[in-house]
Amino acid sequence: MQKPSLNALSMGGNKAKFGIFSPVVYLAKLALGEAKLNKLRGKVISLHSQAITEWCLQYGAYNLRLKLIKMAKRNGDELGFLI
């Protein structure tokens, strides 16, 4: 069995990158437990997606909505929030 590398850990079939905020996520996982952390993460992602949608509607840029949400996910992965 292969050991996971420090640069990328498996998450949901994808490789989550180890970023600057990864240690904070690990501490939150220890403090809250994985189930509560995933519930909190889901709420935050949902609120962020809603904020992006509202911004797109307000400024008439609804066609950018999906691109902005994908960019937010990619940035969260690079910063280590999705570890």
Q: What burial class does residue 37 get, using C-beta atoms within 10 Å of its C-beta: 0-12 exposed, 13-18 middle, 19+ buried?
A: middle
pLDDT at 45: 94
CA distance 75 to 79: 6
Interval 36-49: pLDDT, tens: 999 999 999 999 99
Q: Which residues of the chain have pLDDT under 50?
A: 1-11
pTM above 0.85, yes or no: no
pLDDT at 13: 53
Q: Are 16 and 82 in contact (CB under 8 A)?
A: yes
